[in-house]
Amino acid sequence: MEKERTLVLIKPDAVAKCLAGHVITDLYNLKLKMIAMKLVNVKKELAEKHYESLRDKPFFEKLIKHLTGELHGKENVIAIVYEGENAVKKIRDAAGKTHPEEADFTSIRGKYGRVDSRTDCFENVIHASDSRENAEKEIKLWFKK
Ligand code: IDP
Ligand code: MG
């Protein structure tokens, strides 16, 4: 079977709470290979491109503020590429549902996420690509030469 790659972003809420180590340990258990990793100071343009498909959503502006770290003390994002069989599904399953309170409590979002009642921000810890095709697009965007 052809190797599959996927993009994980440890979002600013998780980096600000020092959760990156926990998240990486949880993902390590999936037995995928980490093939790239970097710390990114996310600019508005990159965040908007990443979430382009959600531009019409009422929460879009807040989502951009979340990813650029504006809601979490200008914290950075940790971008990681994992490779391995069924990498996309394995990581989506480990992440859990989008809304942290609906996510299984054993999932990454269920364990470490919350909704901030002041901002309504889904502090859902990580982004994980949702398909092989989107993973390739996102990896190109985040790991431009
Ligand atoms: P996903 O991250 O589980 O793939 P998407 O629907 O692709 O979920 O949404 C992207 C991100 O937008 C979510 O991870 C979350 O941060 C944010 N988001 C999605 N739905 C809502 C909402 O109803 N309110 C606030 N933020 C949302
Ligand atoms: Mg998504």
Contact 139, 81 (CB under 8 A): yes
Residue 6 Cβ inside 6 Å of ligand 1? The answer reads: no
Residue 107 Cβ inside 6 Å of ligand 1? The answer reads: no
Which listed ligand is nearest to 95 at the C-alpha? 1
Which listed ligand is nearest to 67 at the C-alpha? 1
From the list 14, 15, 34, 43, the residue with the least C-alpha distance to 142 is 43
For residue 63 the two structure tokens come to: 């989502």
The number of the ligand 1 atom at minimal distance from the alpha carbon of 127 is 2
Is 70 exceeded by the pLDDT of residue 64? yes
Is 90 exceeded by the pLDDT of residue 30? yes
Query: Span 79-88, mean pLDDT?
Result: 98
| 16-29 pLDDT tens trace | 999 999 999 999 99
Contact 7, 139 (CB under 8 A): yes
